[in-house]
Amino acid sequence: MSEPHSIAVIVAHPDDDAYGCAGSIALHETDPGFKFILVIATDGGAGLIADGIPATPETLGAWRRGESVRAWQAHGRMPDRHVWLDYADGGLHLVEPGELEDRVRRILLEERPQVVATFGPDGITGHRDHIAIGRAADAAFH
């Protein structure tokens, strides 16, 4: 049996986790030594509603939470721990300095993942939520 290995994916919104690591995580579908921790800071409830999605501005956050679960089911590899930090979508940059970092740090200390995946300094798209969670995850890791 191989050495156990783990990853914590720390993102701002449901679906951000698909940017670069979902396929790699899916490769571990049947690996009993693999632990996957997913941390999502907001429910994405302030996002755009695509045509055909049965959600309203009031229900979009709940829809996106369910969509996150369904996406990982489709990948075949559910997170071993799925944490929702429950911050307001679009407002991570307004969170008290250190608070977001401290919450992420606690999870990292509890789980001790070998790999932490998050956004780089530009947040990939320049989105303020992506930048804030990436900065907090980097600080928490260090």
| Per-residue pLDDT tens digits for 14-48 | 999 987 789 899 899 889 999 999 999 999 999 99
pLDDT the model gives residue 29? 87
Q: Match 């590899």 to its residue by tokens.
A: 77
- What is d(CA 69, CA 125) in angstroms, rounded to the nearest whole number? 24
pLDDT the model gives residue 6? 95
- What is d(CA 111, CA 126) in angstroms, rounded to the nearest whole number? 29
Burial class (CB in 10 A: 0-12, 13-18, 19+), 49: middle
